[in-house]
Amino acid sequence: MPAASQLIRIQRRFLPVDRSSGVDLLPRTKILCVCGARPNFMKVAPIMKSLARVWGADRLLVHTGQHYDERMSSRFFRELGIPAPDLNLEVGSGSHAAQTADVMKRFEPVCIEHRPDWVVVVGDVNSTLACALVAAKLQIRVAHVEAGLRSFDRTMPEEINRLLTDAISDLLFVSEPSGVENLRREGIQASKIHLVGNVMVDTLLQNRARAEKSLILATLGLRPKSYGVVTLHRPNNVDHPAALAPILEALVRISEELPIVFPVHPRTRKNLDLAGVGSGLAGLGRLRFVEPLGYLDFLKLMSDAAVMLTDSGGIQEETTILGVPCLTLRDNTERPITLTRGTNRLTGNRSEAILRGFAEIRRDPPKAKAPELWDGKAADRIVARLTGEELAPARSEEDLVLTRGQPMNARGVSP
Ligand code: UD1
């Protein structure tokens, strides 16, 4: 007895269109996915791949252009095999209000022209909220991937984006149980909430073997498990010298014990330059500044690190899967499962607390136990819910390889 999804496939094969009218007798679900900033690319990649494996979906990818340069955007598309965006809104950098408003102004005509059945937004960046808001007001259904995460810290721009996006979404795809609790507490209907696992982990598992081939350790002259890696970009940590200076002080002290590599985010770079530190990425003793890395090099660097120090959300999750000890230089996390099941510890951003955390984690490295549903199939679950089709397991790499379309800019013109 064929499964329902197989029947749909067979029906589609024999009843694709009504020849006289050209109308699709089994209309396909039109799904428009949005990405804007670096952490979004790892999240849309597996969703686009899963969408390519169902019969009943037309997919469209819109890049808002919040992140725009080779280091922060293009190379992730290449490395992760994400199809070139159908449209790039080219909003670029700006204040929160200007950036959010620009995305909204440029996304509205796209929604009106394409009239998708679903707009899928991921994560918590300004583009996430801006596109969700446009779609909701046009009465287009919104699905939010990575819904429900809460730091309960409204000084973080991402927390505002999360709260508002979740409030107007029709489907909320959640990565860990705390997200379900948070949404229920906020009065969101249970039927909208789906615990599906973690799309960022899908990407990690799909690319782990390729990352093993990266030559980054040799390039940087490092041996496995004999170095630490730092990433910092939260405004609270890097925008003010009063916060950044004590962090750097702690990092230099740690580097006396363990060499540290610091791929510097552009926001952080700007502030290091202003403070006259690390100019030209010169480094401070054994604390070494390098340019932001691509996905595969960074995954390899992280996998073989003795310790990660970070303020990123995604890295807390990735180290949980990799079993690499992680110190998060924040007072809170919206991903509490990384504390209970992963290797993550919160230290805040004061020098002494970071050093204490480092000593503890070296003495007693935490063990990880992968959270349920962080199994590489989150995107399949999301796509199954959106299209009503169960996905057959991916048979080969070929299933995951996508054809590239010709990108267009905001005016719909190929560059
Ligand atoms: C944004 C997200 C944050 C996410 C982070 C990942 C919001 C509110 N913040 O923060 O949640 O964790 O991305 O990186 O949406 N720049 C470049 N090249 C680029 C993009 C930016 O050099 O391709 C520089 C610009 O000078 C810009 C600065 O980086 O002023 C900061 O970029 P911005 O988009 O404002 O936010 P992020 O700090 O990257």
Told to judge if 233 belongs to the known catalytic residues of this protein, a careful annotator would answer: yes
Best CA proximity match to 119, nearest among 386, 390, 404, 381: 386
Domain end among 363, 388, 409: 363
Residues 292, 172 share a domain: no
**HSE toward the beta carbon, residue 160, CA cutoff 13 A:** 10
Which of 18-32, 102-116, 131-145, 175-189 shows the lowest mean pLDDT across its residues?
18-32
- Residue 284 has what pLDDT? 80
Kindly give the interhelix angle for 157-168 and 126-137, rounded to the nearest 10 degrees: 20
- Residue 397 confidence (pLDDT) above 60: no
Residue nearest to ligand 1 atom 13, measured at CA: 37
Higher-confidence position of 237 and 412: 237
User: CA angle 312-168-33, nearest 5°?
Assistant: 60
Residues sharing a CB contact under 8 Å with residue 70, sequence separation 6 or more, in sequence order: none
User: For 36-45, how does the pLDDT look when each residue is reduced to its tens digit (9 = 90+)?
Assistant: 999 999 999 9
Please provide the average confidence, as pLDDT, over all residues in the chain: 90
Domain-embedded: residue 407: no
- Residue 21 has what pLDDT? 59
Domain-embedded: residue 30: yes
In the block, tokens 């992963």 appear at 342
**HSE toward the beta carbon, residue 147, CA cutoff 13 A:** 31
Q: Give kind and range of the element (H or E) at residue 230.
A: strand 228-231
User: For 252-307, how does the pLDDT look when each residue is reduced to its tens digit (9 = 90+)?
Assistant: 999 999 999 999 999 999 998 887 775 555 668 899 999 999 999 999 999 999 99
Residues 224, 319 share a domain: yes
- Residue 317 has what pLDDT? 98
Q: What is the CATH number of the domain that holds 359?
A: 3.40.50.2000
Domain end among 345, 363, 381: 363
Counting residues of the chain whose pLDDT is more than 70, the rounded percentage is 87
* Mean pLDDT in residue range 184-204: 98
- Residue 390 has what pLDDT? 83
Domain-embedded: residue 294: yes
- pLDDT band for 19, please (50, 70, 90 cuts): low
Counting residues of the chain whose pLDDT is more than 90, the rounded percentage is 83
Residues 121, 26 share a domain: yes
Ligand 1 center–CA 153 separation, angstroms: 19
Q: Which of 40, 69, 125, 160 to mutate to test the pocket of ligand 1 (most atoms within 8 A of CB)?
A: 125
Atom of ligand 1 nearest to the CA of 39: 6
Residue nearest to ligand 1 atom 27, measured at CA: 93
Residues 160, 222 share a domain: no
User: For 201-243, how does the pLDDT look when each residue is reduced to its tens digit (9 = 90+)?
Assistant: 999 999 999 999 999 999 999 999 999 999 999 999 999 999 9
What does residue 170 show for φ and ψ, rounded to 5 degrees?
-95, -30
Domain-embedded: residue 405: no
For 64-124, strand residue ranges (E) read 87-88, 118-122
Ligand 1 center–CA 383 separation, angstroms: 28
Domain-embedded: residue 255: yes
- Residue 278 has what pLDDT? 58
Ligand 1 center–CA 264 separation, angstroms: 12
* Mean pLDDT in residue range 313-331: 98
Is 142 in contact with 121 (CB distance < 8 Å)?
yes
55 in contact with ligand 1, CB cutoff 6 A: no
Residues 297, 162 share a domain: no
Residues 189, 119 share a domain: yes
Is 31 in contact with 58 (CB distance < 8 Å)?
yes
Domain-embedded: residue 410: no
Residues 385, 308 share a domain: no
Tell whether the torsion through CA atoms of 94, 100, 103 and 108 is positive or negative. Answer: negative
> Residue 73 and residue 63: Cα distance in Å, rounded?
10
68 in contact with ligand 1, CB cutoff 6 A: yes
240 lies in which domain range?
212-363
For 281-409, strand residue ranges (E) read 287-290, 307-310, 326-328, 344-346
- Residue 324 has what pLDDT? 98
Indicate which residue of 63, 144, 233, 265 is catalytic.
Answer: 233
Kindly give the interhelix angle for 295-303 and 313-322, rounded to the nearest 10 degrees: 50
> Residue 1 and residue 309: Cα distance in Å, rounded?
52
> Residue 341 and residue 384: Cα distance in Å, rounded?
27
Residues 137, 18 share a domain: yes
Residues 105, 79 share a domain: yes
- Category of 413 on φ-ψ map: left (φ > 0), alpha (ψ -120 to 50) or beta: beta
Residues 188, 222 share a domain: no
Give per-residue burial for 63-91: e unless 16+ CB within 10 Å, then b. bbbbbbeebbbebbbebbbbbbbbbbbeb
Is 308 in contact with 299 (CB distance < 8 Å)?
no
- Residue 78 has what pLDDT? 97
Side chain identity at 40, as an amino acid letter? N
* Structure tokens given for 219: 């390039």
Atom of ligand 1 nearest to the CA of 313: 12
What torsion do the CA atoms of 98, 103, 106, 111 make, to the nearest 10 degrees?
Answer: -150
Residue nearest to ligand 1 atom 3, measured at CA: 125
- pLDDT band for 393, please (50, 70, 90 cuts): confident
- pLDDT band for 361, please (50, 70, 90 cuts): very high
Domain-embedded: residue 411: no
Residue nearest to ligand 1 atom 38, measured at CA: 267
- Residue 411 confidence (pLDDT) above 50: no
Domain-embedded: residue 300: yes
Q: How many independent structural domains does the chain possess? A: 2
pTM as predicted: 0.91
